[in-house]
Amino acid sequence: MRYLVAIVAVLLLVVGCGGSSAVPSSLQLERVEWRAVSIAGVPPLPKNVPTMTLNNGLISGSAGCNHYSGAARIEAGRLVVDQLAMTAMACLDNRANTLEMQFANILSSKPLIGSRGGMLVLQGKGGEVVFTSNQAPTPTD
């Protein structure tokens, strides 16, 4: 899985397209564990569900089989992840490996942040990741 870490590092160097969209105000992004319900239109395997938590400029979670962490910020409605580090364990299932790589690619591509039906959507190169959370968003005035 060293190749996955190398691919993620290279993807961090790719410059994403600029965007002017704002982050949906109905979503509380920080201090909430978001769980992927689809990656590029495909549901994750029940034992390999990617997660994402943002907290004070840091991102962390599971990519499905491996854990990741790094620095993160929101710029012009996009999630910008810097210095992404990931463990290098192989998934036992090839489908899980493929979905994990797609998840890492999308996360590293400065995805546009959006919402759909109360779910968080990160739309980037290679498709989108749709997340759900059990936590209700904090009301905004």
Listed by start position, the domains of the chain span 2-132
Residue 54 pLDDT grade (very low, low, confident, very high; cuts 50, 70, 90): very high
The predicted model scores a pTM of 0.77
Residues 6+ apart with CB under 8 A from 84: 8, 9, 12, 59, 68, 69, 70, 104, 107, 108
| CB environment 24-63: b (16+ within 10 A), e (fewer) | beebbbeebebbbebbbeeebeeebbbbbbbeeeebbbbb
Q: For the domain with range 2-132, which CATH number is right: 3.40.50.300, 1.20.58.1880, 3.30.750.24, 2.40.128.270?
A: 2.40.128.270
Per-residue confidence (pLDDT) for residue 137, from 0 to 100: 47
pLDDT over threshold 50, residue 104: yes
What pLDDT is stored for residue 69 in this prediction? 96
Above 50 in pLDDT, residue 78? yes
Question: What's the confidence (pLDDT) of residue 99?
Answer: 95
